[in-house]
Amino acid sequence: MNEIVRQPAADPNWNGSPTHCVSIARESPETGQIAFALVSALSKLRNPPRNRSVEVSTRGGGKYSFRYATLDKILDMARPVLAAEGLVLFQPISTNEKGGLVLVTRLLHRSGEWMETSIPLPTPGGDPQSFGSAVTYLRRYAVTALLGIASDEDDDANRAAGNHLKDVTPRHERLRDEAGRSTDPVQALTAKAKGARDVDDGTDLLRSWAAAAATTEALRGKPEWEQLVRHVGVGLRNSLGQMCASAFVRAARLTGLEDVENFETAWGGEWAHTLMMMQEEAPETYRALQSHVVSQIRRARRAAAEAGAAGAAGLGEGAAVEDGPHAEDAAAKPSAGGRSAVSEGGPRRAARGSAAGAERRRTETVS
């Protein structure tokens, strides 16, 4: 067993506070597997949301407040991530060699390797509620210290000293808030697009575009629509990558059957590898993008069918009866042998369909 003992610095003002005491860190003789698992887990952990606010009175008569994450929220967030890596965290109360109570925070790996810290607890005395509060306080700090996450606002004790602080919200967070407050779908989409930074943002942006379909389609053909498409495309590029942005914009701009065929060729060709990775690693994002693309392909085919029917009607009633239904059927029919390269079978089938379509076109050209 490896052990690290941290003594408190010599401090004549030490009053036995539960956070001002000896702490001990121990680990199993071998730590290779737990270290590997912990590195993976910590890469997925995020600082927990601060769900509680408290106001503190200072000795000088002033007051300050701060927010923090409660122990239950921290554990609810951390446990699934740790379990996925074969790790479990628990915090028993034990005794040290002097008979004093200590809080042990142990991280155990499925291999049997472990690491832990222990902190002395205050004497229970005659007030069990105060003792319980101290235990909860120390449990929260021990967990966050062991996992390297922050549950409190960090102000370097400025508020306690009476200094005035102003929190500055990052721009993308302000834009998210703006999108949540806006009642105008176009303004909300624009704000979300400008604030999109990660996969969750990009997925939400795609879903929001779908939810606002009636509004966006009413703008189609106007400069406002083109500007909105550009904003959303940039937001998707910043959050999901260039391929997703290109797929979104090209699908939104589809205008005819030739456009649809070229798009499906790209979906099953140059984009197929990225789409397969997305389908495996971010299935919700893939489905949101696929849903947008399928709806835009249907829109383009309907428009082509309506244009074909209108053209046939212009040639006379007899021609319309003879050619109109056939034109509409041809426009509505998916490419690649009656199957949509986008909506059926995922990008792997789309890639095969794209190759088959290319071979069919080469054969038709030769014959």
Give which of 257, 185, 282 is closest to 228, Cα–Cα: 185
Evaluate whether residue 286 is within a structural domain: yes
pLDDT of residue 177: 63
Alpha carbon distance 197, 239 (integer Å): 5
SS3 95: strand
Q: What are the two backbone dihedrals, phi and then psi, of residue 152, each rounded to the nearest 5 degrees?
A: -120, 160
To the nearest 5 percent, what fractions of the chain are helix, strand and coil?
Answer: 60, 15, 30
pLDDT digit string, tens, across residues 137-196: 899 999 999 999 988 765 544 444 555 545 545 555 666 566 566 678 888 899 889 888
Q: 42 is in which domain, residue-wise?
A: 2-147
pLDDT of residue 46: 87
Give which of 270, 268, 187, 272 is closest to 231, Cα–Cα: 187
Alpha carbon distance 286, 248 (integer Å): 12
Confidence of residue 10 (pLDDT cuts 50, 70, 90): very low
Evaluate whether residue 161 is within a structural domain: no
Same domain, 328 and 181: yes
Q: Mean pLDDT, to the nearest integer, of 340-351? A: 57
The first and second tokens of residue 279, run together, are 């389908």
Residue 5 amino acid letter: V
Same domain, 111 and 235: no
Alpha carbon distance 204, 292 (integer Å): 12
Same domain, 37 and 105: yes
Alpha carbon distance 50, 62 (integer Å): 23
Task: Report the C-alpha dihedral over residues 279, 280, 281, 285, rounded to 10 degrees.
Answer: 20
Residue with tokens 């943002």: 201
Neighbours of 181 (CB within 10 A): 10
The first and second tokens of residue 118, run together, are 């222990």
Same domain, 135 and 186: no
Evaluate whether residue 157 is within a structural domain: no
Reported in sequence order, the residue ranges of the chain that DSSP labels E, i.e. its strands, are 2-6, 23-27, 52-57, 63-68, 87-90, 93-95, 101-109, 114-120
Same domain, 255 and 308: yes
Same domain, 177 and 48: no
**How many independent structural domains does the chain possess?**
2
Same domain, 81 and 125: yes
SS3 120: strand
pLDDT digit string, tens, across residues 305-327: 888 887 777 665 544 434 444 44
Strand 87-90 relative to strand 101-109, pairing: antiparallel
User: Has residue 9 got a pLDDT over 60?
Assistant: no
pTM strictly above 0.75: no
Evaluate whether residue 43 is within a structural domain: yes
DSSP-derived letter for residue 367 is -
